[in-house]
Amino acid sequence: MTEDTDNTAASLPFFGIPRLVPLVRKYRKALLTMIVCGLFGSVMDIGLPLLQKYALDHFIGGRTLDTMPAFVALYLAGILFSSAMNFIAGSYAISTEVRVNRDLRAAAFNHLQTLSFDYFNRHGVGWIHSRVMSDTGRIGTLVSWSLMECVWHATFLVGALAVMLAVNARLALLVMLILPLIVVLYALFQKKLMEANRRIRELNSRITGDFNEGITGAKTIKTLVIEDRMADDFVKDTSEIKKTGIRAARLRGAFAVTMNLASSLALAIVLWQGGFLRASEVGTFSLFMSYAQGMMEPVRWIVDAISDVITTQVNIERLTRLLATRSDVTDAPEVIERYGDSFSPKKENWEPIRGDIAFEDVSFRYPDGDELVLDHFSLDIPFGTNLAIVGETGAGKSTLVNLVCRFFEPTSGRVLIDGRDARERSQLWLHSAIGYVLQTPHLFSGTIRENLLYGNPDATEEDVRRALALVSADEVVARMEKGLDTDVGEGGDLLSTGEKQLLSFARAILADPRILVLDEATASVDTLTERKIQDAMKTAIRGRTSLVIAHRLSTIRNADRILVVRNGKIVERGTHRQLLDQKGHYYRLYTRQYEDEATNDLLS
């Protein structure tokens, strides 16, 4: 969400098109077919006025129907041929468009799987999401449709001009004079129109925002009795969008007027300068009339296509930048050689993991920060330790977890897993031994079963049942009509927070990780569920190395070791007793929490 959230037009050499070449290379055959068929498809559009000329000159002028059967046959063949060509061109255009989109989306998505957390911290989800979903779409449209439009219309234009030149060069040149005028005028309009359309989009999203605020803030608005005030403010926005909408319509109207005038100017030139004063020239007259009037539309399409190319530069630039971003955390080539990468692991070479963690003289600064949050920090966390990390919201409790999970790498010093530098093994090796339960539980859309198997696809039905029972999530599943095959909805939204929390515990247990990271929930759930979650937590950490970002007294009191974090730094460490005796920051945190929790216990 920093430097590259801007939407200002980027300017790349040749509008960024060279950057696309490697991405569309495999479609060059399809593109070629599309272009060739499109060229042929335009033939009928060029030929039609010629056929009419023939009909006028030969049949009507010559007063004979002798060649009629051949004429009809040719006409029909022309229609069928050009339609067939256009069908092929159109099919290829659409399929190339969506296939290019597909490839780009997959490339962006897969690349994101390898980027480090620094990238995700720096860019909002919405921003990244539109790189994957919408930039790719614009580019696909560009390489297929914009190209197709250009081929179709340029062919017609060139063909029409050629025929006109052949038939009557002087008149053709006169008619051609209008073209540059049209191009310039249209380019001007186009720019203004785009501006107006952008403004309309902005205003539209503001109005959606207004509705959103008016509806979610209904209670507040009522208690403040500002219904009228809000409605009056809303009217300001709707008035503005109305004004802009009408202005855009005026622009469009004015543009259509110019186009019409230009094509009638062409017709007028033909009438005036044509000098078709002999009966035998009626056919030529009709030919020029058709071409002169039909030339304006193609010009418009071509200018549209060109302006698409210009605006799509931004999308190309952003997407290629995403694809070129390197991860801060990468495995060394020799590590990949031995252990495989994230997509094709070499599990046969993986050593079993024990679960000892050690920080050895670690210093760390976040890539986007300038202060050292860990300064020559050392800590030994042997297998089976329950480590609690406490501190206020935003104090930086996740830093240690981020380092243990290798979401970030130390600025200096080493993080040891089972006595060896974490960098000596692959990320996937480490991650496959870690279980993670988030403060706000995250489920994927799909069934409960799919979610549970997320961390361990090979688990048996029996394993699943056991894991569920261990954290008393079996009741949650039993309540569901379809049991394990119940759909959880997007992001698990069909379940309550408590249910999601319990299921995410079961998921972590099912993965049977040696190291468990737990971010305790602070969200309010009812007492019964809360007790269940706490029990589930106790079950989950048994027999593993666990790092708990702690909020609850029971966790804090029973932890083997506690780290107290304040303003991003570790200020105190020790057991619960030792820390209480110090009467420092921990003591204050704990007292406040005790009060709150005891009061809540009484009140719930």
Partner 1 sequence: MRFLKGCKTFFLLCMLCAAVSALADMIAPQIVRVTVDQIILGESAASLHPAVSRALEALGGAERLRERLWIMALAVMVVTLVKCVAQYGFRVFNAKGCETLVKTLRDTLFRHIERLPFQWHVQNHTGDIIQRCTSDIETTRSFVSEQMTQLLRIAILLAMSVFFMLRMNVSLTLVAMIPLPVVVWYSLHFHRKFRKGFQTCDENEGLLSAMAQENLTGVRVVRAFGRERHERDRFAAQNEHYTSLWVKLGRLMSFFWASADVLSGVQVMLVVVFGARFCLRGEMTSGEYIAFISYNGMLVWPVRMLGRMIGEMSKARVGIRRIAFILEAEEEKDAPDAVSPPMDGDIRFEHVSFAYDGCPETLHDVDLTIPAGTTLGVLGGTGSGKSTLTYLLDRLYPLPPECGRITIGGVDIANIRLEHLRRNIGMVLQEPFLFSRTLRENLSVAAPELPEAELHAAAEAACLEETVAGFPKGYETFVGERGVTLSGGQKQRAAIARMLVRKAPIMVFDDSLSAVDTETDAKIRRALERRFGTATILLISHRITTLSKADQVLVLDHGRVSQLGTPEQLRNQPGLYRRIHDIQSASVELQEAEARA
Which residue, 510, 506, 516, is CA-closest to 545?
516
Strand order in the sheet with 420-421: 374-381, 357-364, 412-417, 420-421
What mask, x for binding partner 1 by CB under 8 A, covers residues 429 to 448?
--xx-xxx-x---x-xx---
CA distance 113 to 133: 15
Which residue, 497, 495, 498, 480, is CA-closest to 536?
498
Q: Which of residues 106-145 bind partner 1 (CB under 8 A)?
A: 106, 109-110, 112-114, 117, 120, 125, 128-129, 132-133
Q: Which of residues 145-184 bind partner 1 (CB under 8 A)?
A: none
Segment interacting with partner 1, rule: CB under 8 A, options 54-62, 308-316, 474-482, 537-545: 54-62
Report in angstroms how near the CB of residue 71 gets to partner 1 at its nearest. 7
Report in angstroms how near the CB of residue 299 gets to partner 1 at its nearest. 17
Count of CA atoms in the C-beta half-sphere (13 A) of 467: 26
Segment interacting with partner 1, rule: CB under 8 A, options 5-13, 22-30, 318-326, 426-434: 426-434
Q: What is the DSSP letter of 325?
A: P
Contact 17, 309 (CB under 8 A): yes
Which residue, 406, 403, 401, 359, is CA-closest to 380?
359
Judged by CB under 8 A, the number of residues near partner 1 is 149
- Cβ distance to partner 1 smaller for residue 273 or 363: 273
Among 66, 227, 380, 475, binds partner 1 (CB under 8 A): 227
- Cβ distance to partner 1 smaller for residue 313 or 426: 426
- Cβ distance to partner 1 smaller for residue 350 or 383: 350
- Cβ distance to partner 1 smaller for residue 87 or 412: 87
Q: Does 77 bind partner 1 (CB under 8 A)?
A: no
Contact 239, 219 (CB under 8 A): no
Among 56, 353, 547, 564, binds partner 1 (CB under 8 A): 56
Report in angstroms how near the CB of residue 160 gets to partner 1 at its nearest. 16
What mask, x for binding partner 1 by CB under 8 A, covers residues 186 to 225?
------------------x--xxxxxxxxxxxxxxxxxxx
Q: Which residues of 299-337 are buried (b: 16+ CB within 10 A; e: fewer)?
A: bbbbbbbbbbbeebbbbbbbbbebbebebebebeeebbe
Report in angstroms how near the CB of residue 18 gets to partner 1 at its nearest. 25
Residue type, 316: I
User: What phi and psi, each to the nearest 5 degrees, are found at residue 437?
Assistant: -120, 120
Segment interacting with partner 1, rule: CB under 8 A, options 2-10, 154-162, 313-321, 425-433: 425-433
What mask, x for binding partner 1 by CB under 8 A, covers residues 560 to 579?
--------------------
Among 33, 36, 99, 459, binds partner 1 (CB under 8 A): 99
Q: How far is CA 379 from CA 10, 390, 564, 573, 602, in A?
A: 48, 16, 14, 10, 39
Q: Which of residues 387-416 bind partner 1 (CB under 8 A)?
A: 405, 407
369 burial level (CB within 10 Å; 0-12, 13-18, 19+):
exposed
Segment interacting with partner 1, rule: CB under 8 A, options 358-366, 466-474, 540-548, 587-595: 587-595
Residue type, 21: V
Report in angstroms how near the CB of residue 463 gets to partner 1 at its nearest. 16
Contact 409, 118 (CB under 8 A): no
Report in angstroms how near the CB of residue 337 gets to partner 1 at its nearest. 18
Q: Which of residues 451-510 bind partner 1 (CB under 8 A)?
A: 454-455, 457, 490-491
- Cβ distance to partner 1 smaller for residue 410 or 441: 441
Among 26, 198, 201, 229, binds partner 1 (CB under 8 A): 229
- Cβ distance to partner 1 smaller for residue 77 or 332: 77
- Cβ distance to partner 1 smaller for residue 253 or 382: 253
What angle do the packed helices 147-167 and 68-112 form, to 10 degrees?
Answer: 150
Segment interacting with partner 1, rule: CB under 8 A, options 154-162, 232-240, 381-389, 411-419: 232-240
- Cβ distance to partner 1 smaller for residue 119 or 383: 119
- Cβ distance to partner 1 smaller for residue 478 or 602: 602
CA distance 317 to 451: 36
Longest dimension (CA), the chain: 118
End-to-end CA distance of the chain: give it in Å, rounded. 41
Q: What is the DSSP letter of 233?
A: H
- Cβ distance to partner 1 smaller for residue 79 or 194: 79
Count of CA atoms in the C-beta half-sphere (13 A) of 531: 4
Q: Does 53 bind partner 1 (CB under 8 A)?
A: no
Contact 483, 513 (CB under 8 A): no
Q: Which residues of 95-125 are buried (b: 16+ CB within 10 A; e: fewer)?
A: ebbebbbebbbebbeeebebbbbbbeeebee
Among 11, 378, 567, 599, binds partner 1 (CB under 8 A): 599
Helix H or strand E encompassing 415: strand 412-417
Q: Which of residues 271-300 bind partner 1 (CB under 8 A)?
A: 271-272, 274-279, 281-282, 285-286, 289
Q: Which of residues 323-362 bind partner 1 (CB under 8 A)?
A: 342-345
Cβ atoms within 10 Å, residue 16: 22
Report in angstroms how near the CB of residue 406 gets to partner 1 at its nearest. 9
